[in-house]
Amino acid sequence: MENHTTRPHHVAVVGSGPSGFYAAAALLDAEPDVRVDMFDRLATPWGLVRAGVAPDHPKIKSVSSQYDKTAAREGFRFFGHVCLGEDITRDELLERYDAIIYAVGSQTERRLGIPGEDLPGSIASVDFVGWYNGHPDYVDLAPALDTERAVVIGAGNVALDVARMLLLPEADLRATDTADHALDALVGSSVREAVICGRRGPREAAFTTTELRELTDIDDLAVVADPGQVPADIADDDTLPKATRRNLEILRGFAAHEPDPGARHRMEFRFYRSPVEIRGDGRVEEIVLGVNRLETGEDGRTRAVDTGERETVPTGLVLRAVGYRGLALPGVPFDDDTGTVPHTEGRIDGDDHRREYVVGWIKRGPSGIIGTNKKDANETVRHLVADLAEREPVDRPADHGESVETWLRDRCPDLVDQAGWQAIDAHERGRGEPDGRPRVKVVDREELLKLSRP
Ligand code: NAP
């Protein structure tokens, strides 16, 4: 007779970014006996911490040490280079696990829907960010940086990230883990100016204060705004939320300040502007911006309304940073309007058996900072643990975990486990050390797999 046991519970976490890791940690805290298997389609974990956070923000990236601690816990396993929907199916996971948590984030861009959007030289921030961060999918992007001016669409933190990466001094860039292909291109770039366009006003911008404030510390960068758009008294309204007032104080500083005429780089904030058309003969040559006024709707939200006035800006590079969008997972419900999985506090709607859950951006949309995912994951895991406790225990052999691994390795011979990832990690860090860089990223899939093998 085989030795059967009703415990431990086996949970699959699909996606190894912050939300996946916070969910794994919350599960391990709640059920000391739980087994958590974390999957990622890439050979490397950490999601946007590795492939999204700007390389000149090493402090933010250092949150990965928390994920290392989770990965070192008893009951945790990492299975990289395993793609749900290609290598394995949702049904196969449901057969083998008591529950699945989808933590796959928002993997694509929100579209502008304007003529010329797909001209060469018009690039989604998702792609550009992936490119400079060494995400294997975007290594070959080769953005055209042979232009003096870049126009960035969107007034959020990603817009700031991409504009800053274009304008950082060489020494600052060289100290980062920017992928080498991007480092060379950015250092040799002709871009001297980035114009960040917000469709609404400075009050409505989605930047966070730390990210705005740090611009003042960048060498050789003149940051400017139009005093007509950011008047001197704009922050003096004490009915505004504190964070908005702090942002406005910084922005009005940019507008009031006489920019250093000798600065090598220039960043401009231009508000009340929507992209209307991107034009060019075979590649981007200019962008037409529509001038907006603001109107407050019945819901209290301020909307940008086109005045009909137009402004043409010559540029060879348009970066579209208007937000991310989730992708549907095979067999999992999906709301196409929001680009998220419909759920109630993390329990996927329509899952009457209470076995599928969501966390992070695929749950709530692409908003918030890394830490936001902790609370979000805790909410989902609280329900998951309650559901597990209520359910009839599943009879499984004591070596169920081992059987699952055997099945996976058979299906995915190139699977990268935690030891494989640690080998990649050590190699990258070692390569960075002589130049004082946090790491030199390996971006080639085959090389990553080779490094991961014992
Ligand atoms: P975001 O904060 O949602 O900003 C998107 C911007 O795009 C908004 O200004 C939005 O304007 C604008 N936009 C949307 N559709 C548009 C259109 N059709 N035309 C023109 N503009 C349009 O998104 P994000 O910058 O991608 O950032 C995603 C999340 O990651 C945010 O929560 C952000 O704070 C976070 N993040 C944090 C950091 C950090 O902490 N350092 C770094 C990067 C990202 P409206 O407001 O008018 O819609």
202 lines ligand 1 (CB under 6 A): no
Ligand 1 pocket mutation pick from 273, 301, 322 by most atoms within 8 angstroms of CB: 322
Alpha carbons 14 and 38: distance in angstroms, whole number: 6
Residue spans of the chain under pLDDT 70 = 1-6
161 lines ligand 1 (CB under 6 A): yes
pLDDT value for 259: 86
156 lines ligand 1 (CB under 6 A): yes
Alpha carbons 151 and 196: distance in angstroms, whole number: 6
368 lines ligand 1 (CB under 6 A): yes
State in Å: Cα 144 to ligand 1 middle: 23
Q: Which pair of tokens denotes residue 12?
A: 């699959």
β-strands 76-80, 35-40: how paired?
A: parallel
Exposure string over 55-92, b if 16+ CB within 10 A, otherwise e: bbeeeebeebebbeebbeeebbbbbbbbebeebbebeb
323 lines ligand 1 (CB under 6 A): yes
pLDDT value for 38: 98
| Closest C-alpha to ligand 1, atom 36 | 157
**Residue whose tokens read 């407050």:** 296
State in Å: Cα 158 to ligand 1 middle: 6
112 lines ligand 1 (CB under 6 A): yes
163 lines ligand 1 (CB under 6 A): no
State in Å: Cα 206 to ligand 1 middle: 6
Can you count the helices (H) and strands (E) in the chain? Answer: 16, 20
CA quadruple 348, 350, 352, 354: dihedral, nearest 10 = -10
pLDDT value for 6: 56
pLDDT value for 220: 96
Alpha carbons 36 and 73: distance in angstroms, whole number: 10
Alpha carbons 368 and 372: distance in angstroms, whole number: 6
State in Å: Cα 19 to ligand 1 middle: 19
Ligand 1 pocket mutation pick from 59, 111, 160, 199 by most atoms within 8 angstroms of CB: 199
Exposure string over 137-156, b if 16+ CB within 10 A, otherwise e: bbbebebbbebebbbbbbbb
- 3-state secondary structure (DSSP) of residue 12: strand
292 lines ligand 1 (CB under 6 A): no
State in Å: Cα 184 to ligand 1 middle: 28
414 lines ligand 1 (CB under 6 A): no
290 lines ligand 1 (CB under 6 A): no
204 lines ligand 1 (CB under 6 A): yes
**Domains, the chain, ordered by start:** 9-107+326-452 (3.40.50.720), 111-324 (3.50.50.60)
Q: 65 to each of 69, 71, 317, 418, how far by Cα in Å?
A: 6, 10, 36, 14
pLDDT value for 3: 43
